[in-house]
């Protein structure tokens, strides 16, 4: 598909600026809140009007756009600035549809992040936002691949961002998607109950067809919508065959396992397809669960390939050595019916 160059990430761990994946930051009140940095390059007047999702998206992307002139911006999000959306709706009720503050409405639209980035950097190229719940970032990567096929000399900023909204969190918790009992992220995979811990964050990448200086190559992406475990494993086998690989060729399986006992059957079934030589690692104890967490999984993969070793807390089975890892498969499952396979390889 394409090559990944520089990348940035804002997450519940120390991933922006001085990166530290070894020290695991604890969850707070069953949530994994993103650690927001001091945002450089954004005027105080502008940042004051930004909601959290827009801040994280713009703040993580600007360092890349200041170094690279790209031909377009492609962002994925499931909820956009949902907190600002809810504030605007509350204003409609409070003021009886009278004089409303436009800021919350402007910042709440899904394309606010891509739009703000285009305006701040005066980038008038392709500007698109994908909103596909648990497959939003996967569609970003597919879109970037098609754009690069048509414009092979171009480069694009791609990424994804989502935030924890208090009101949305309350509805998801009532629907049984979050843990009702107190749980720390360090013990997330030891739980035997329904639900998980919510998270938030943003990850941004420079994508192009040029392999010079690339960190990794994105080989293929595939999505499937089903609740049939057998169909998921069958599609995983087809995905590997289509890319001329066997399960034994996968050195690292990065699993989106999230501590929800109802979804564990999917991850267990996929893991059983791989040989003992495949290291199985998990990442959602560092990011929490949210619809575009696979963007952070891709960022983590790029870091692990460069580090040469993996912190112990990621490992489920296998070795911490990543110096000899060639092929990485990311498998994620959102709410039991949105599945994705992302294949990366070392350059």
The CATH class that applies to domain 2-208 reads alpha beta
Question: Which residue(s) pair with 216 in the sheet?
Answer: 4, 346
The predicted pLDDT at position 344 comes to 98
CA–CA separation, 274 and 137 (whole Å): 25
Write the CA distances from 14 to 26, 119, 258, 281, integer angstroms: 11, 29, 20, 19
- Distance from C-alpha of 293 to C-alpha of 81, rounded to nearest angstrom: 16
Q: Pairing mode, if any, of strands 72-76 and 126-130?
A: parallel
DSSP string, 302-344: HHHHHHSB--GGGEEES-SB-TT--EEEEEEEETTTEEEEEEE
Contacts of 234 (CB under 8 A, 6+ apart): none
Q: What pLDDT tens digit does each residue of the chain (347 aa) get?
A: 999 999 999 999 999 999 999 999 999 999 999 999 999 888 888 888 888 999 999 999 999 999 999 999 999 999 765 666 666 677 777 777 777 766 666 566 778 899 999 999 999 999 999 999 999 999 999 999 999 999 999 999 999 999 998 888 888 999 999 999 999 999 999 999 999 999 999 999 999 999 999 999 999 999 999 999 999 999 999 999 999 999 999 999 999 999 999 999 999 999 999 999 999 999 999 999 999 999 999 999 999 999 999 999 999 999 999 999 999 999 999 999 999 999 999 99
CA neighbor of 269 nearest in space, from 309, 240, 236, 224: 236
- Residues paired with 254 in a beta bridge: 281, 330
Instruction: State how far the Cα of 52 lies from the Cα of 220, in Å rounded to an integer.
Output: 31
Helices 52-67 and 112-121 cross at an angle (nearest 10°) of 40
Residues listed for the chain: 347
Domain coordinates in residue numbering, the chain:
2-208, 216-346
- Give DSSP secondary structure letters for 232-252: HHHHHHHHHHHTT--GGG-SE
- Quote the pLDDT of residue 276: 92
The answer to whether 2-208 and 216-346 have equal CATH topology is yes
In terms of Cα–Cα distance, which of 153, 146, 150 is closest to 70?
153
Residue 48 neighbours by CB distance under 10 Å: 10
Q: Give the pairing type, strands 279-282 and 315-317.
A: antiparallel
* pLDDT of amino acid 83: 63
pLDDT at 105: 64
Could you tell me how far CA 152 lies from the centroid of its own chain? 25
Protein fold of 216-346: Peroxisomal Thiolase; Chain A, domain 1 (3.40.47)
DSSP for 52-100, written as a single string? HHHHHHHHHHHHHHHH---SEEEEE-SSSSHHHHHHHHHHHHHTTTSS-
The alpha-carbon radius of gyration of the chain (Å, integer) is 19
Instruction: Report the pLDDT value the prediction gives residue 177, as an integer from 0 to 100.
Output: 97
* C-alpha span between 188 and 4 (Å, rounded): 30
Class of residue 230 by CB neighbours under 10 A (exposed 0-12, middle 13-18, buried 19+): exposed
pLDDT for the residue numbered 179 = 97
């Amino acid at each position: 598909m394409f090559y990944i160059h520089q990348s940035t990430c804002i997450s519940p761990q120390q991933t922006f600026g001085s990166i530290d994946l070894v020290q695991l930051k604890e969850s707070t009140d069953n949530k994994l809140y993103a650690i927001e940095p001091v945002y450089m390059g954004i005027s105080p007047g502008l940042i004051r009007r930004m909601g959290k999702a827009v801040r994280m998206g713009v703040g993580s992307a600007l360092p890349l756009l200041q170094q690279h002139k790209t031909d377009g911006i492609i962002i994925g999000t499931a909820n956009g600035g949902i907190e600002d959306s809810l504030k605007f709706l509350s204003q409609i009720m409070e003021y009886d549809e009278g004089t409303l503050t436009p800021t919350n409405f402007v910042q709440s639209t899904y394309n606010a992040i891509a739009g703000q980035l285009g305006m701040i950097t005066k980038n008038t190229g392709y500007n698109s936002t994908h909103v596909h719940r648990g497959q939003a970032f996967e569609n970003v990567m597919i879109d970037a691949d098609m754009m690069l096929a048509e414009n092979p000399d171009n480069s694009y900023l791609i990424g994804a961002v989502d935030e924890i909204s208090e009101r949305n969190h309350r509805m998801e918790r009532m629907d049984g998607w979050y843990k009702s009992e107190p749980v720390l992220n360090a013990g997330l995979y030891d739980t035997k109950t329904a639900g998980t811990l919510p998270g938030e964050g943003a990850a941004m990448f420079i994508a192009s067809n040029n392999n010079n200086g690339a960190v990794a190559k994105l080989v293929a992406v595939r999505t499937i919508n089903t609740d049939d475990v057998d169909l998921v494993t069958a599609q995983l086998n087809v995905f590997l065959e289509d890319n001329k690989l066997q399960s034994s060729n996968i050195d690292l399986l990065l699993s989106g396992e999230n501590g929800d006992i109802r979804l564990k059957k999917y991850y267990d079934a996929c893991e059983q397809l791989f040989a003992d030589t495949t290291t199985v690692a998990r990442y959602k104890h560092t990011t929490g669960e949210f619809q575009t967490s696979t963007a952070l999984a891709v960022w983590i993969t790029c870091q692990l390939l460069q580090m040469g070793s993996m912190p112990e807390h990621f490992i489920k089975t296998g070795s911490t050595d990543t110096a000899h890892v060639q092929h990485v498969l990311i498998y994620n499952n959102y709410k039991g019916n949105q599945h994705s396979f992302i294949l990366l390889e070392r350059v």
